[in-house]
Amino acid sequence: MTSLYLSCATTNTAISATPSSHPRPLLPKPSHSHFITHAKLTNRLHHVSCSSTPQNQNDETKKPTAKVVDRRNMLVGMGGLYGATTLASTPSAAANPIQAPELNKCGTATNLNNGEKLDINCCPPISDRIIDYKLPPVFQMKIRPSAHRVSPEYMFKFNTAIDRMKRLPKDDPRNFMQQANIHCAYCNGAYDQPGQGTLDLQIHNSWLFFPFHRWYLYFYERILGKLIGDPTFALPFWNWDNPKGMTMPPMFVDPKSSLYDKKRNQEHLPPAVVDLGLTNSTDTLQVVANNLTIMYSEMIRGNSDANDFMGQAYREGDESSAKAAGSSERGSHTSVHAWVGDFKDQPSGEDMGNFYSAGRDPLFYSHHANVDRMWTLWQYFLPSNKVPDKRITDTDFLNTAFLFYDENAQLVRVTVKDCLDNLRMGYDFERIDLPWLDYRPPRQSARAKINRASSTAAPKAAALFPLTLDGVVRFQVDKTKKGKADESLVLEDIKVDTTKLLKFDVFVNDEDDNPGELDKAAYLGTYAQVPHKSANNNSSTSSIKLKLTELYDDMDIDDDDTIVVTLVPRHQGPVLPLVVSRLSRIHRNRLPVVLDH
């Protein structure tokens, strides 16, 4: 039987501070309590860079063995605890960046609706003239506004732009449905990786998630500005990370507006508060507290390196069904998709609740504008003592390419390396307070109750596998003593049916055993996915890594030999069992900081 793996190795890396080539605007400063603050940040952060010889990243380049999986099952393997100080993003010794898709080889995308295969043609118009895109000079910065704070004049302008986009000829690549189909094509199996046979190209669940969507919104925004003759037009962001923005923005809920989508969950229209935890709680104050805790966890507490936030490496020849999403993608991003999508009257969660149809809802672009804002905040403004530098210099990342049609209907090729700085792309965000920035859960002492649970209701993890998780389950995992290593909880070989909405939360030493409350030290993080088509019979193998360092400090368990892990499945749609299949070892060697490009 395999066992949990604990690594206490550390890697020392030379670090030097280098200023950004573009001064970053100021953002709000965190308060010293859990209350919202209106104070302003007075210092600027600098990028941290280091140099190192690239190392072979063996596990990143291995192909998983395909297994036949019951579509109703979600399979999870526990990778255990290991030293977070050994982790970072390093280049593969023998790999290449994923190239832009070949439009003339685009096929039908696939969605599964109640087991019935539905082929969807979301291929764009074909052009034989492709231009390598160069970012134009920035003469005036566009400011993306908070969707809840826009003026009537802005709403009229935005509504007009979307209306004109919908009225464009159907074969115009700038047409509303053509733009929506971009997400479908890149996310539901219409494209293969060039030169890799029928291997799917999938931009989710990897380090391509943020760069792809940033380029997507960039051209979408420029098209809208062109249609209304306003080159300064900027998309609004739905700031669901702030209590004042945790309802659907008003301009999207008018049935007479071009911004309306009738396929949204009608139970979640205002004044309903977005539930980032998908807990189905009816306590609005608890939902808000949960939301702020989730944001703190996925932005700060749970990340030890860039891959934890950005997602795992994804290179030419990699199976798209064997990658892992970063904390933001699998957390708030996925939850908002699921919360807006209608799984009651639309079995596959259309529109927002499924990748193939998400772009058909105008709200999708404001949602992803906030996702993009999260990337910007994480890149430049999070406290340097909490999160290390976040730039990735792996050439397989930087040279990955995508194809888009620009505002002039010209097909252009873009690369990741040109979208890493939003200011160079000519846009920034309205300043909004960040109440989650200092929303660290209060300290909690759980030793007595958890120790009793450990000896009775929580067996050792090695004795538990395999199991069917159709309810809450608890098990013990060995840990190191304080000071030996920063640790992370690794859940490997998470095998899921990709056509279903699936989510589970992870708690450690949860003394009150109330899974509806996430605003506590015991909450560690989450795994979730939006329904989509995948290779390998629509099964996917993934993993998550959740940093434990701050949780140990908050729970007074440094001297304990074990922790008790609780997995809580959430079901916002088809109720599916979660099956934990086996234990596995971790063999990854990484550095504690990610190199600056």
Closest by alpha carbon to 180, among 354, 402, 396? 354
CB 403 within 8 A of CB 101: yes
**Set 148, 337, 367, 532: catalytic member:** 337
Q: What are phi and psi of 189, to 5 degrees?
A: 90, 10
CB neighbours of 116 closer than 8 A, spacing ≥ 6? Answer: none
User: In whole angstroms, how far apart are CA 388 and each of 13, 224, 283, 332?
Assistant: 12, 36, 36, 21
Distance CA 300, CA 122 (A): 37
Check if 337 is active-site.
yes
**Set 183, 367, 532, 571: catalytic member:** 183
Between strands 427-429 and 487-497, the pairing is: unpaired
**Is residue 333 annotated as involved in ligand binding?**
yes
CB 366 within 8 A of CB 302: no
List 28's β-bridge partners, or say none: 40
User: In whole angstroms, how far apart are CA 149 and each of 29, 333, 340, 378, 430?
Assistant: 21, 21, 20, 23, 10
Burial class (CB in 10 A: 0-12, 13-18, 19+), 38: exposed
Check if 597 is active-site.
no
**Is residue 337 annotated as involved in ligand binding?**
yes
List 491's β-bridge partners, or say none: 78, 544
Q: What are phi and psi of 470, to 5 degrees?
A: -105, 15
**Set 233, 252, 309, 355: catalytic member:** 355
Omega before 466 within 30 of 0, i.e. cis: yes
**Is residue 368 annotated as involved in ligand binding?**
yes
**Set 158, 210, 212, 333: catalytic member:** 333
The helix/strand/coil state of 517 is coil
CB neighbours of 517 closer than 8 A, spacing ≥ 6? Answer: 286, 289, 290
Q: Which residue has the tokens 């290390």?
A: 388
Check if 355 is active-site.
yes
The string of DSSP codes covering 312-345 is ----TT--GGG----HHIIIIIHHHHHHHB-TTT
Residue type, 184: C
Distance CA 590, CA 89 (A): 6
521-551 per-residue burial string, b: 16 or more CB within 10 A, e: under 16: bbbbbbbbbbbbbbbbebbbbbbbbbbbbbb
The helix/strand/coil state of 70 is coil
CA 417 to mean position of chain CA atoms: 19
Angle CA 77–81–86, to nearest 5: 115
**Set 47, 148, 368, 532: catalytic member:** 368
Check if 22 is active-site.
no
Check if 404 is active-site.
no
Distance CA 109, CA 132 (A): 26
**Is residue 204 annotated as involved in ligand binding?**
yes
Omega before 30 within 30 of 0, i.e. cis: no
**Set 213, 367, 532, 571: catalytic member:** 213
Check if 183 is active-site.
yes
Closest by alpha carbon to 356, among 198, 216, 192, 181? 181
Check if 368 is active-site.
yes
**Set 204, 367, 532, 571: catalytic member:** 204
Residues annotated in the binding site for Cu cation, as ranges? Answer: 183, 204, 213, 333, 337, 368
**Catalytic machinery residues:** 183, 204, 213, 333, 337, 355, 368
Residues annotated in the binding site, as ranges? Answer: 183, 204, 213, 333, 337, 368
